[in-house]
Amino acid sequence: MGFRPFVWQLAQRFGLRGHVLNDPEGVLILAVGEALPAFQKALRAEAPPLARIDQIEAEAVQIEPGDGFEIVASQGAGAETRVTPDAATCPDCLSDIRDPSNRRYGYAFANCTHCGPRFTILRALPYDRAQTTMAPFDMCDACRDEYENPADRRFHAQPVACADCGPRVWLEPDGGDPIAGAAARLAQGEVLAIKGLGGFHLACDATNAQAVDTLRKRKHRPAKPFALMARLGTIRQYAQVSPEEEALLQDAAAPIVLLDKGGAALPETVAPGQASLGWMLPYTPVHHLLLDALDRPLVMTSGNLSGEPQVIGNEEARQKLSGFADAYLMHDRDIARRLDDSVERITPHGPMILRRARGRVPGTLPLPEGFEDAPQVVAYGGQMKSAICLIKNGQALLGHHLGELDEALTYDAFLQADADYADLFDHSPRMVACDLHPDFRASQHARSKGLPVIEVQHHHAHLAACLAENGWPLDGGPVAGIILDGIGLGDDGTVWGGEILLGDYRGYTRQAWLKPAPMIGGDRASAEPWRNALVRLDQAGLSDRADALFGDKPLQIARQAAAKGVNAPLSSSAGRLFDAVAALCGLCPDRQSFEGEAAMRLEALGQGTQHAGYDFTVDGSCIDPAPMIRAMCADLDAGAKVAQVSAAFHTGLARAFAAPAKALIESGAARAVALSGGCFQNARLLAEVVDQLPDVPVLLHTHTPANDGGLALGQAVIAAALAR
């Protein structure tokens, strides 16, 4: 990230003598001079854009500094210094590729120490060119001069290159000018496979409804929202962009940011039934050059076969994406590891990460007070939205989003990531942590390691992840965790997903929960919302309504399965309740085309609508939605709009869970409330629950996913706590 040349330049400015080097613990500076206090202050105040300074330690030593200040070779072995995530093209490099007088004019791989690929090209540590996918490209004399000059911003930038010596980009099958040719094809309504930093995207003109429909049909993706890429001025034409959202878009991580629609309208097929769109800025020179040639928004969705990981190799793309793409914008710099785009949003209560990937990993989180001597631990997360977490030296490294481990190629990527992170970060775990569910592939892998295994209940892991992210001390006392998500195996053998836990890192008790309902067909209940609506209607005494709404379904068989408990496990899942409510409102009752579709549509319809909220019955520890179901059906019969029903449901659900949690605070049993689980990626629900907890300390996810993507962090800190 250019920290040593930054130190060198500061030393020249302050007249210091000595040297700077990288060692296994970070950056070591040995310096002599009158201006040391000002120098030390400037280290933090003026650090390079990609630098993160956790701590500056200073002590007096006896040294012979010599006459000047030098950058010297790295010393020692090990991996305490972390690898920098990939970073979007910086303004200086962007200026280079747009300046006809610059030797990198129009060059698709310009980068410097302030930007460019890092983690996606790294094969092994130390981070030297020979250990990256840039190894095949020998630097020309001009690039070598920049690389060896401490005053140059490309000093020791490992991917440094130019058109004379570096990677090249081309268009298949056309040849010719690749950028102009790609832009022309997109303008004609074609679909392109474009190789980026962490994998291939499938791209088309987002203003062309026919092109978007073509991509949907080819990819067999009927409704899941497509991500979009455009320059900031273009994004403002189609979306509402707050200052906080603008800053997030322009962050070096360049994530996809969910923005409310506003201004001009794109074709509905870009994101059917959604009130927001996922936008990102161009983050590589290829993207910038392409948008310079075609100034309009582009769909940029992952280039992969359904259910498989994103394609990263050229030949792999030719084989797997031939049914989707009309042409390929390729390059010859290999991708060492696939990384999806990160997905984030800004809420009234701060940032929210929905998918943690490119630009955010392998960033680390400092562990809370009390974990200073925690042993090295590896945790393997859950079955869905899989991610791995490593603990070492007071830091937690939550790895990148991997996906659903049921898919064989995703599981292969999981195994590769496990070996990859252990090797890259010199990690030697003393124990492993995993989910309580014995059939999760991640849990089976954990038990194969030959190390002590800590099995962690799914929702306890959600709670602990929220605590760890917020720096809650090991001995900070119990908190009330409102955990709302899809499904997770409970310690009583039933399926949980909507409960209030009272606990900390070391343990918990279940204080309250959503009244369980059978998940008819097991996993099929997650895909077919009518099944959840049926059981909730029957519980509410509205079986006749179920017969009328779902008469074309095998209701008799379904009810028999529910009564006998045959492939119909009881579940307190808040996610399945969302599905039931959505189905009763007519939102994809038969089948969801992607996970969370019904709930996302329900949230979108209720946006901007207020309601006093439906009541739930709280009977001891059981939170019963039956009164809510009856009131909702009565409103629908009276002609209420789905927007009003959605608002009333969100408010009622928030009140039903916030009240018992607040009571735990008021009784002194809990010191704060933590909100976790995938349902809290619903911005409306998050806001409603926080509003129901005035004057109460509330802990939220802002830097790790509230969904299962954060599970491994919770598992890891629980294992570390229990090991002490």
* Secondary structure (DSSP) of 641-662: -HHHHHHHHHHHHHHHHHHHHH
Quick one: three-class SS letters along 432-481? Answer: EEEECCCCCHHHHHHHCCCCCEEEECHHHHHHHHHHHHCCCCCCCCCEEE
Distance CA 251, CA 106 (A): 23
Q: How far is CA 184 from CA 215, 303, 432, in A?
A: 17, 20, 52
Q: How far is CA 589 from CA 274, 548, 580, 614, in A?
A: 17, 13, 8, 21
Query: By three-state DSSP, how is residue 626 classified?
Result: helix
CA-based max dimension of the chain: 91
Residue closest to 257 by CA, chosen among 283, 279, 282: 279
**Alpha carbon distance 371, 625 (integer Å):** 40
Residue 211 near residue 296, CB atoms below 8 Å: no
Q: Which two structure tokens, joined as six digits, stand for 650?
A: 């969100």
Predicted pLDDT at 77: 56
Q: Which residues contact 278 (CB under 8 A, 6 or more apart)?
A: 225, 226, 227, 228, 256, 257, 258, 259, 271, 343
Amino acid code (one letter) for 663: A
Collapsing DSSP to helix, strand or coil, 115 comes out as: strand
CATH number attached to the domain at 169-331: 3.90.870.40
Q: Give the residue from 67, 73, 71, 72 showing the smallest Cα distance to 17.
A: 67
Residues 297, 330: Cα–Cα separation, whole Å: 20
Fold of 480-699: Nucleotidyltransferase; domain 5 (3.30.420)
> For residue 95, what is the DSSP state?
H
Q: What are phi and psi of 616, to 5 degrees?
A: -110, 155
Give me the pLDDT at residue 76, please: 63
CA angle 147, 149, 155 (to 5 degrees): 45
Domain boundaries, the chain: 3-71, 169-331, 363-470+705-723, 480-699
Which residue in this structure is represented by tokens 């995993």? 434
Given a cut of 70, the residues of the chain with pLDDT beneath it are 24, 75-82
**Among residues 267, 197, 195, 190, which one has the least CA distance to residue 228?**
267
Residues tagged active-site: 4, 22
- Tell me the sheet residues that pair with 14: none
**Kind of pairing, strands 698-699 and 673-676?**
parallel
The string of DSSP letters for 35-67 reads: THHHHHHHHHHT--TT----------------S
In sequence order, what are the beta bridge partners of 267? none
Spatial separation of the C-alpha atoms in residues 494 and 571, rounded to whole Å? 6
* Integer Cα distance of 555 and 543 in angstroms: 10
* Torsion on CA atoms 125, 126, 130, 131, rounded to nearest 10: 10
> Coil, strand, or helix at residue 358?
strand
Write the DSSP symbol of residue 96. Answer: H
363-470+705-723: CATH number: 3.30.420.360
Task: Output the six-digit token pair for 111.
Answer: 């980068």
Contacts for 170 with CB less than 8 Å, ≥ 6 apart: 178, 329, 330, 331
Alpha helices of 448-542 — where are they, by DSSP H?
458-469, 524-527, 529-539
The two tokens of residue 411 are: 């599981």
**Cis amide linkage into residue 173, ω under 30° from 0:** yes
**pLDDT at residue number 156:** 87
Please give the full DSSP string across 203-247, using - where no structure is assigned.
EEETT-HHHHHHHHHHHT-SSSPPEEE--HHHHHHHB---HHHHH
- Residue 279: CB partners within 8 Å, gap ≥ 6? 227, 228, 229, 230, 235, 239, 249, 256, 257, 259
The phi, psi pair for 509, rounded to 5°, reads: -130, 150
Residues in CB range of 551: below 8 A, 6 or more apart: none
Q: Which residues pair with 481 in a beta bridge?
A: 501, 674
Residue 585 has a pLDDT of: 97
Query: What is the tens place of the pLDDT at every residue in 432-473?
Result: 999 999 999 999 999 999 999 999 999 999 999 999 999 999
Q: Do domains 363-470+705-723 and 480-699 have the same CATH topology?
A: yes
Q: Smallest Cα–Cα separation from 108: which of 195, 175, 49?
A: 195
260, 246 Cβ separation under 8 angstroms: no
Looking at residue 406, its amino acid is D
Tokens standing for residue 548: 């009328």
Determine contact, residues 244/346, Cβ cutoff 8 Å. Answer: yes
Strands 395-398 and 364-366: what pairing? Answer: antiparallel
Q: Are strands 200-205 and 192-195 parallel, antiparallel or unpaired?
A: antiparallel
Q: Under a CB-based contact definition with an 8 Å cutoff, are residues 495 and 571 in contact?
A: yes
The CATH number for 3-71, chosen from 3.30.70.100, 3.40.50.300, 3.20.20.140, 3.40.50.1820, is: 3.30.70.100
Strand partners, 489: 495
* Cβ neighbours for 149, distance < 8 A, ≥ 6 positions apart: 155
Structure tokens at 490: 């409970």
DSSP letter at 327 equals E
In this structure, are residues 645 and 680 in contact, taking their beta carbons and an 8 Å threshold? no
- DSSP string over 246-282: HHHHTSTT--EEEEEB-SS---GGGSTT-SEEEEE--
For the record, the structure tokens of 417 come out as: 């990531």
